[in-house]
Chain A
Amino acid sequence: MALDVAIACLKAVVMLLIALQVMAMGVYFERKVSAIIQDRIGANRAAILGFAGQGIVNTLVADPLKFLLKEDVRPAGADRFLHTLAPLAAVIPALGAFAVIPFGDVLEIGGRTINLQAASLDVGILYILAMASLGVYGVVLAGWASNNRWSLLGGIRGSAQMISYEIAMGLALIGVVVTYDTLDLQEMARRQGELIWGWLPAWGILSQPLAFLILFAAGIAESKRIPFDLPESESELVSGFFTEYSGAKHLMFMMSDFVEVVLVAALVTTLFFGGWQVPYLGREGFHFPWGTAIALPSLVVAILQILSFSVKLVFFTWLQIVIRWTLPRFRYDQLMRLGWKGLLPLSLLNVVVSAALVLLREGRT
């Protein structure tokens, strides 16, 4: 019993560590990739004992320390309770959503079979939708509680945007759920280990390409980053909903921003790119389609899977940052048009086509 609790805690810690590590990498990418794209050198100032590590010291040590040591300013007339609650309301649901993301298949150790997923829920993906939909409160409350018109505008924009894109996101997920025939993300990842024509891994991107595009776009919109960063839009609203935040609270908003980026990456990886799957790697080892088989112990398989998941996670985090520094911001009407007239009908189409294909495949009428 105590061992079970310990294992459950350990799994949660592993998932959290993966998420936070990739988040830290995201922050680093954000500074260095933007510098490369804009032909600058980027962060390289702070150093420990002469080690600047191309800005690693800057992003991982100096920046967070600076945030933590700065004065916490609360503007006059701001609502004391809600002003403090808002950053918490932004970051907690984003981190909580990682509980159902699988980071490996199963680990057989000491006669136990451990499912490498922090929480195996029957409702799986709906739980992520629930957490994502709670994330909007951080934005709305920060906007309202700051007693600042820019913040308020940012908060209003944020709530409208997140509600609009949640619909496209949910509908795109229906196509995915219909195809995999399950809501459990672990089961979805396992289904992607099957092979098409005996050699092609059946990753979701092949069966649900449209859902991938919709989900990725809606996911970036949910995390409120360029080209969808109207709640923040520093050229009009100073810093949008978190204009009036400083110090540790500002750090929490930044953190929730990057955690959401990693969450989108994790979701895309799990649903469309095999999650923890390594091509041809099964529970007993590699089985290549040309007949070669390499047996591996369960621990090695699990480590390879966690590695595979992490690499994909880092890739999609990086991709989102490149997108951020490549595209200009939408206008508000363009944002709404894309959400309601572009992604929503496309996701409806995707639901119909996926359902028809599943019916055909299973030969039902």
Chain B
Amino acid sequence: MSIPLFLIFAALTVASALVVIIHRNPIYCALGLVSTLFLLALLFLGLEAHMVAVLQIIVYAGAIVVLFLFVIMLLNLQVEERAMVPRPLIAVAAAGGILLGALVLVGIAQTPLAAPVPVHADYGGTEPLAERLFTTYLLPFELTSLLLLVAIVGAVVVGKRRA
């Protein structure tokens, strides 16, 4: 991906992420999230990671945020009121944010950038990804699926108890 293209997509990603946290209507927040995730998928595409890009869309944009929207619509959430936050708290939060941003910037500035290396032909494809996943990274992969299973069972148990 060329630099100008990357900058455009990166700016759009940040803008939609801002919509998620700033907009007062929960539906628009969820849509901002969809847009963020979709644009992230485009950035992955720019990094030649086709498989990750498509999975990003299927799993996050196509399924998880749809569930968010489903819940928002089911609960019929209204436009949020702006909460009254004490001024000192705002000042502290702003200072913390600026400090964090500065630290990240310093970190980036101090890291020497390696010259770009051309990726090899099958990089980011389905086969190499699957092969790594099921050989080198088999244990973390299986552990993750176990973790997800535990989470699902937990969710069912919590739901049952309430009913």
Contact = CB atoms under 8 A, between A and B. Distances in A.
A144 B73 contact: yes
Contacts of B62: 129-130, 132-134, 136, 166
Contacts of B74: 156
A129 B73 CA distance: 24
Contacts of B63: 133, 163, 166
Contact of A140 (B51, B61, B66): B66
Given A122-B51, A159-B66, A159-B67, 11 more contacts: A79-B27, A82-B31, A122-B126, A123-B51, A123-B126, A129-B54, A133-B61, A133-B62, A134-B57, A134-B61, A160-B70
B23 to A, nearest CB: 12
A268 to B, nearest CB: 20
B93 to A, nearest CB: 30
6 contacts: A126-B55, A130-B54, A133-B63, A133-B66, A156-B73, A162-B66
A130 B57 contact: yes
Interface string A210-250: 00000000000000000000000000000000000000000
A82 B51 CA distance: 30
Contacts of B57: 130, 133-134
- Main SS class of interface, A: helix
Contacts of B31: 82, 141
Given A82-B27, A155-B73, A126 B34 contact: no
Interface in A48-86: 79, 82
Nearest to B72: A144
B34 A144 contact: no
Interface of B is mostly: helix
B162 to A, nearest CB: 19
Interface residues of A, number: 27
9 smallest CB-CB distances across A and B, nearest first, come from A133-B62, A130-B57, A126-B54, A123-B54, A130-B58, A159-B70, A122-B125, A140-B69, A130-B54
A121 B50 CA distance: 9
Interface of B: 27, 31, 34, 50-51, 54-55, 57-58, 61-63, 66-67, 69-70, 73-74, 125-126
A127 interface: yes
Contacts of A159: 66-67, 69-70, 73
Given A130-B58, A133-B58, A123 B67 contact: no
A187 to B, nearest CB: 12
Nearest to B74: A156
Contacts of A156: 70, 73-74
A57 to B, nearest CB: 39
Nearest to B67: A163
A133 B66 CA distance: 9
Contacts of B67: 159, 163
B50 A122 contact: yes
Contacts of A140: 66, 69-70, 73
Nearest to A130: B57
A127 B61 contact: no
Contact of B66 (A121, A122, A136, A183): A136
Interface centre among A126, A132, A155 (most CB of B within 10 A): A126
B15 to A, nearest CB: 16
A143 interface: yes
A152 interface: yes
Contact of A144 (B27, B51, B54, B58): B27
